[in-house]
A = this chain, B = another copy of it.
């Protein structure tokens, strides 16, 4: 029942703990929710001005592979969230401004797994996202 930290997991898999890697993980705490690679990079650069954006990308893709972070596709660049910190949830995304909030519901059931299995699919994950207009954007559009 010991909780494995991201760093433990990296070590366990034989990856090195570099200052850059530490910083990427920490950056999530001080970034807006669902940061882009860019935003994370800017955050990391406050501590380590010389990190390169590609290092951020490389680490994000490693962390995604290890399921330490989740990568969420957006038409205008992907965003990330720390996996372990958050319990399972889904998102409300404003189609105007991109503002994102979490919503504590999940429709996933065994029935879907079975439905998928009929087609030969083994489900490993799912996304359920709502698109709409946040309050601000509703007002803005109303005035026009």
A contact set with B: CB distance below 8 Å: 71, 73-75, 78, 92, 94-95, 101, 103, 105, 107, 111-112, 115-116, 119-135, 138
A124 touches B128 (CB 8 A): no
- Shortest A130–chain B CB gap in Å is 5
* Complex A-B: 16 CB contacts under 8 Å: A71-B75, A92-B116, A92-B119, A92-B121, A92-B123, A101-B119, A103-B115, A120-B134, A120-B135, A120-B138, A121-B130, A121-B132, A121-B134, A124-B132, A125-B132, A126-B129
B131 touches A116 (CB 8 A): no
Smallest CB-CB separation from A131: which chain B residue?
B125
B131 touches A126 (CB 8 A): yes
Most B Cβ at <10 Å: residue of A103, A120, A122, A131: A120
A127 touches B127 (CB 8 A): yes
A124 to B111: give the CA distance in the assembly, Å: 26
A122 touches B128 (CB 8 A): no
A129 to B129: give the CA distance in the assembly, Å: 9
Residues on the B chain within 8 Å of A126, using CB = 128-131
A130 touches B112 (CB 8 A): yes
A87 to B101: give the CA distance in the assembly, Å: 28
